Structure 1
Amino acid sequence: MPSFDIVSEVDRSEVDNAVQNVMREIGTRYDFKGSRSEVTVDEGAIKIEADDDLKLKQVREILQGHLQKRSIEPGQLDYQKVEPAAGQSVRQRVLVKEGLDKELAKKIVKDIKATKTKCQVAIQGDELRVTGKKRDDLQEVIAHVKAMGLEQPVQFKNFRD
C-alpha cells in the first residue's frame, strides 16, 4: 500500500552555517564597526545580542536572508520577545520550529479528510503518515496540502509504493 510522511524538519548544520555567515558579515560591515553584536546557536535556538533595537533589527534581517539562502523558510522561525541585557544592549531568542504540533496536525488531517480522497491519515508523534490504495490519491493529497498555505513549511518524505 503506497504511503508517505508529512514532516516539518530543519537541517541543523544549515542553521549553523547560516549563523557563521551572519557573524562573518557583521564583522565586515561598516555600520557594525565597534558594536558588540553577535549571533550564536544553543539548544535548538538562535540567540541574537545587539547594542540597541536598531542593530537587533538589522541582525534579524541579515539572519533571515542567510537562512533563506540555505532553504530555511521564515515560517520555521519563532521570534521570542526582546529582553534588555547589560547596559543598553538587548537580546532575543529565535526558536527554530521542528515537527508538527498537535493543532497543526489536526488541522491538516481534518482538511485531508474533507477532500473525500480514499486515503487514511495517522498522527505519529510530530509527523503524519498518509496511506492510500492508489499513487494518484496520494499525489492529490500532496497537492492539496501544498495549496493549504500553512504558516509552517512542511516536507513530504518516505514516499513508498
Structure 2
Amino acid sequence: MFFSLSESYQRKKDELFESAKNTPLTSQVTVSHSQQLDHFINHFQNKKDSEIYVIEMIDKQTLTLKLEGQLDLVTASQLDHFIQENKPHWLEVDKLYIDLLDLHFFDTSGIKSIVTFMEEMKKRSLSISLITTKRTFEILDIMGVTDIFNNYNDETFHTI
C-alpha cells in the first residue's frame, strides 16, 4: 500500500492556512502549526515512501493484527481505513492482540490510530494486548500510550 506524500503535505498545509485565517500569524497556534509543517517537510524530504502492512488473523474469538513497516502520518490513514473496512467482521471477537514486533518506525500520529482503535474496542469490553519489544514498550510508555491500559486496570502488554 502506498499513500501519496504530496497528499499528506497538502493536508498539513491546508490545516496551517485554515488556522492562519482565523488567528494572527504570530499566535501560538499558528506558530505551532508552522513548526509542525516545517518538521513534516524536513522529515519527509529524506524519507522513502512509508509502507504499512496489516496482517489479520482470526482464531475462534481472538483477533490478531500484526503491523509491519512504518506507522506514521502517511500510513496512519491506511491503518484507519483498514480498521473501518474490517470492523464489521470482528463483532464476535472478544480478545484482540496488536502485534508491533515488526513495526520498524512509528510516530505520534501513527500511534494515535492504534490508541483510538484500542479505546473503541475497550468500550466493547474486549481484552486487548499489545505485543511489543521492551524498547518499543518503553517508547510507548514515554508517549503515554500505556495509560490507556491503566485507565481500564488492564496489564496487557506483552514484551519480548
Does the alignment reach a TM-score above 0.5? no
User: Which structure has the greater CA radius of gyration?
Assistant: 1
RCO greater where, 1 or 2, for CA within 8 Å and sep 6 or more?
A: 1
**TM-score normalized by the length of structure 2:** 0.28
**TM-score normalized by the length of structure 1:** 0.27
Which one has the bigger helix percentage?
Answer: 2
